[in-house]
Structure formats: C-alpha cells, structure tokens
Chain A
C-alpha cells in the first residue's frame, strides 16, 4: 500500500516535472522556431543559444503586478486559469510513456509508467477530462467583462464542442481496432509486428484518414494556429485572456503548451506506436525502458515541432471556414474512417 503510494508519488513528480520542463523548453523552441522560419534570430542573449530565456520569462511574469480589473466577476476570474492548468495536468495520468512491464520497484510493477495504470476507462477518462478544458477558456472570457474576451470564449466553446466530435470519432477507430479502452493495450497492439517485414503495424497505416482527422482536430482543441480563434490577436486583441496578466496569464500559456504535449503524446500513442520501436524484442528490463522512453521522446519531439511548424506556416481560418471544415470536412471523414475500420475488421483485413 505505502509502496504503491510512494511509487505513484514519484511517478507524478517525475512526469509533472518533465512536463513542466517541456513547457519551458517549448516556449524557447517556439520562439526560436518562429525566428528560424521567418529567417531572423529570435532570443539568443540569455544563456547559450538563448536557452535560459524561459527562466527569465518566468521570473518576469512572477514579479509583474498581479492586476485584477475592476468590473470582473472576481471568483470566476480567478477560477478560470486554475481550471485550465488543472485540466491540462490531469490528462497526463493515463498516458503510457515507456516499457516498464517487466520491472518492479518495491514490489510495484511499473507497467507503462502511467500514473493511473488501473483505470479501465483509459481513453474515455482522457476525453472526459479534456472536454473540461473548455471551461477555463469560456469562464475567462465571460468573467473578464470585456467584449473581446467574451467573443473569444463564445468562439472557443463552439469550436471545441465541434471538433471534439471528430476527434472522438477518430479515437474510436483506434479503439475499435484495439478492442480496449486502455492506452497500454493500444500501444501493445502496435508493437513488435511488421507488414511486409518493414512497415511497423502502427495504426496510422490502416487509419491514415483517422490520423489526419485526429491531428487536425487536436490543433483545434489546443487552440493553436490555424485554429486559434479564441485569441486571434488581429481581431480580438488577445481573446479570452485579454484581461489577464502576470502569473494568471502565464497559467493560460502553460496550459496551452501542456495541452500541446498531451496532444502530441496522444497522437504518438494512438497512431504512431507509442513507445514501441523497431527491434525492441531484443531488449528487456531497464535498457528497454530507457530505449522506449527515448523512442517516445523522439516521436513526441517531432509532433511538438509540427505544432510550431504549422503555427508559423499557416494563416488563421475564418470562423465560418472553421465550422465548415469541422462539420462538413472532418466529421464525415472521421465517420468514413470508422466505417472503414469496422468493415476491414469484419473482413479480417486488419487483425
């Protein structure tokens, strides 16, 4: 009992620490990446290559005046960023990061290194918690008592609900192929075997449609360009967080980056084999764990970079275009994918 609690606590600490560090790194990556794409230098003064820039930013935000505007709804105004960060953090607990299946620490099996390995509803939990993220934005938008932020909140609530459908449908395709709601089962199914000896049996191959839908929907769910209509600087100044400053503003920023990490981790886990890597059958125990973590990290890094890349490459959608894409583009595609998976499974084309 105590050993379990201790192991869980360590897991939580390690994962939360990693994620928060990643947030800081991503901030740097984003700014340097933007500069790279736009052919300029970006922050390069603090530390080697400007690597310490996030630390400086954090210090600056911490020491700025924590301003609360006069006519806001104070309780909700405070609650909104908290909800955003909590939800973003909570979603990590079911994602398997590495192969600890034959390792026990103090009699506690490590499994997939998830925080909550026994949660039978797995992905469903993730979707459920993820669907709460919208409250942070909507409440921030409403409680700020500012028409720009209200518009941002309104937009994001409609946007998130719309894209959640396609996202869930895309996930369903994977779950249908897996036959389980658990993410470690999803990963296990994709590992170890190959088509034609070279193509790993990742879900992305048979379900390329679902993968595309999922990636696009996840961009919308994280409010990233080209779907960042909730902030839309050029139209709404800064959208839902226009009235926020200091650490409360930082909370929204952090939650956005954490959501990016979650989203990337999910893409990797659902469609790109999670922590599996070719040739992993030759390893076991701690080396396997280390290699699997590395594999996961590389895949994760790619998709994190994709987020940055897309952000600085594509212009923002107009709102009606966004809705049209969601309902008339992604939703039918996701349904098609689901039907295809069902038929393929019934026919035995996918095992």
Chain B
C-alpha cells in the first residue's frame, strides 16, 4: 500500500480534472459521485496507508514518483515522503476535507449544476494541492502544493465572482499570499545554493553533519521561510486576507481555516524545524510574531458582529498560538494544536454555516438570538467546539493550548536560547489571548443561540435544522473536538506518567527543544489552573455582558465611554485602511507612472526612434534588393569565395 502513496494526491486531482473537463454536462448526482467519491477514496487510501504505517515505528518512507527537473546541478524529483509529521497531517486533512465535502452536498444544493460542479472541482483541486504540500519530500514539491492551495483559495474565495467584494477578496488573498510566497521562493533558492539540494532529508543530513558550516545561512533561510508561512498562515502583518476570505461559501471557509491552507505555514515551519532549531533569532521571531498575532487578532474578535468574522479572527489568533509553540521549540505541540484546531474550527465553521443556512443567509449576530431551541444539533455541536476552543477540560483544545502555554512558560523560565524574558512576556500575551478567546467565543454563542430572536418574525418562522448531510459532519467533528485531545495528554496532568502519544509519535521528525531547567510538577499544575481559570473568567465575563436580562448593557456603556477605542477595535485597528494608504495607493501611483511616464514616453519612444532609424536605413539599403534570385545567389557565392580566399591566402 505504501507504494501507492502517489494515489493520495492523485485521486482528488483526477476528480478535479474529470469535473473540470466534464462538469458542464454533469448533473448534480454525477458531480457528487465524482467530487465526494474521489475525496472519499483518498480518505480510504490514507486510512489503509496509515494502518500499515502504524506498524512501522515512525520510519520515514520516501517514494520517488518521477524525475521532474534535471538541469545542470539542479535535480528535483517529484518525490513523496511519509513520516509521522505528514502522517498526522494526512489523517486530519483527508478526514476533515472529506467531511467538508459531504457537508457541501447539503450546503451547495441550491446552486446551479454548473456552479455545483465547479465548486467540487475546486474543492478536489484544493485537496490535491494540500496533500501534495503535505507529502512533498522536498521544498519544490511542497511549493507546488503551496501555490496550488493559494490558487484554489483564490478560486474558491472568489467563487461568487459576479459579486464584486467576493472577487476583490479572492484577489486580495492571492496577492497577499504572493508576498509570502516570494519569501518562500527566495528561501528555496537560498537553500539550494547553500545545501545543493532542497530535499528535506538531504538538508537535514547536511545540517546534522556540519552545523557550523551553515551557521551563517540558517537564520536568513529560516526567516525567509517564515515570511512564506506568515503569508499563508495569516500572521501579522499579512493576516488581512483571511477575514476577507469569508466571502467564499462557508464550507470553503471551513476548509481554508480548519484543515488546510492556513495550517500549511505551521506545517512548513515544523517540517523545517531542523533549520529553525539552529537559529535562536528565527525562533524568537516566530514566537514573537505568533504571540503578538494571537493577542492582536483576539482583540479584534471581541468587537465583530459577523459570526464568520469572529471565527476568522479566532483562526488568526489560534494560528498565532501555533507559531508561538513552534517558536518556543514545542514543534510537536504546535502540530498538536493544528490537529485539534482542525476538528473544532471545522466544526465551528460548519456550525456557523448551519446557522447561516437556518437564518436564510443572515450572518450578522445582532439579528440572531435564541436559536438553540430551533436548531439543537447545531447548538450542541457548536457548544462542544467552542468549549474546545476556549480550552476547557477535557475537550481537545484544553490539552493542546495548555501544552503550548506550558512550553512557552518553560522556555521563559528555563531561559531558552538566552531569550527567557521575551518568552515570559509572550506567555503573558498568550494568557491574555486565551482570556479574550473565551470571551469572544461565548459572546458569539450567547448572541447567536440565547436570548430573544432579534430578526424579523418571517426569518424566525423560517429557521430550521439543516439536512443530514450537514448535521452528520457536525456530529463527527464535534465528537472529534471532544476526544482527540486525549491523544496528547501532557505529562503534568498524568502526574509525570508519559502518556503523550502524540509527542512521542512526532519525536522522530520534530523533537521538542528541551530547556535545561524544566518547571517542576507543581509549577505545571499551577500553570494549568491559571489557564483554565483565565478561560473560565472569560466565559463568565461574556455571560455577564451578553446573557440574561442585562445583556448588551455593559458593552454599550463601554462603547459609549471610549468611542475611539471601540471604533478602532470594531474597524480592526484600521489596518486595511493603513495598508491601502501605505502600500496599495503608492503602488497604484507607481504603476500609473510606469504606464504614462516610463512605458509611453521612454520605452515606446525608444522603440519608435529605432523604428524610425530602421526605416531610414531600409530606404537607403533597398536599392540593393533587386528582387532577382540569381542576383542574390551571385552575391552569396561572391561572398563565400571572398571569405574562402581571405581565409586561405
């Protein structure tokens, strides 16, 4: 079965190609069979592969598919690599991806046949790109997937391309991603120049053999790679595309936010941990960007009224956590959070989609309320996922988030790489973000599901539970959100017994950077209690503000007292506007100047001038052109004889 590894990306690709080629003529049934079927087959293939892989004790399996680039010293194979890291990624990418496919059957059924086929074609393509990214055995193959998910996100975000803001959001996602991709590309070039290979195994071996030789290069390579990760994983300052990406259909949001795409950056950083661990600077930068983003996005999240926007900023914030973990050396911890996050965030998004579906397309939470009674399945699954996200034990998010905060604190207390103080500050930021996360998530829950309905009676009448194809995915994901955390139970929780299966599994490819003075068991318990307490505090605050008779009173008062602060938060700190002023408009001016100034005057002028002189020269030389073939031949032979004579004499 391992020899059929190539099937995993190939199946969704085949599905996408079939749908792109024949989608215009397919009915919904055929489209569903091809689109969901190929994703299901990929899931089955992954399951079979993982079952076999489970008995292999975390060996790395590389499968060479074909020689791709071979030019001079550059050889790049299209090779796939299965190791614990990619195995973990594979498992949830295909599972969550498949669940989202199933969900889409119900969610998109009102679309026309063509749009339906197009949607599933893009979804399949997305799966292909993400699986290629995950399985790539070198940076270049990874880059195919990297660009592929970028392209697909563009296509899917702009799925309703006849609406201007959707098209604009697609373009924004694409352009912002390109900035990051540029960094990634530079990193690939640099890595090739330094290591002579872009193969992960090859680079790791080179670094392991002689770390000092590459000491100068690892920091810039690591930072450039991180630029790519920042773009793809929506970190400061390139996060702006992700909230706008809500313009796409909700399953797309779920796919992009939960399982694929945005996690690519984290995955790549962890995949390249052998580079990062040699560069303390890069580690600190990763951690700092992650920590700041986590808090920053969480503050924006508290003032959003669009249910999907709340979740979007929550994603940005949680991604910040993951980077914070990676930056603190807890690579396995970061991936664990990616793993758990995939379940609860997918569940949240699909739940939000279900809510929107129930409210006839309404996304504004101010016009919802009291929905729990009418759509109980959605409510309970949403609740489970929310608790997981907030880090309430024993749900999945608790284990992963606690792991991260514990590791960051350990890095600070143990003075990792001499940056102990910085890590302690980041730990505080992380705690604050956890508090805000709990707050805004329960704010969303209360505004959506509790209290009185604030929309029109007609809407209320229309509210209904979603069909089975939508609720079953919710149930599955909710169940996942509840239990998958048990795969990575921290050492402190079990009083020192090592039950952390997840970290042990990943240890071979992404070992955690251990600090010299690990915190004692008691300290760790204190930390756990602190983080749980913080989360509970956030929930209670949200309950105080948005639940019961006095709902909305306190928040309004705050907004009235500090209108500037409220406006800043509600308008996302004006970041988009600042970018527009600082980057977009100057670039527009530059483009305008290039067009009017450089292109029209300088380039066209040069061309016209050369054409003018050519014309004059032609006017003079055309007298040689007699139009007689034999005459030309005579000149040719005369020239040949003359040349021969000159050479010989």
Do any CB atoms of chain A lie under 8 A from CB atoms of chain B in the complex? no
Instruction: Report A's interface with B, CB cutoff 8 A.
Output: none
- B residues with CB within 8 A of A: none
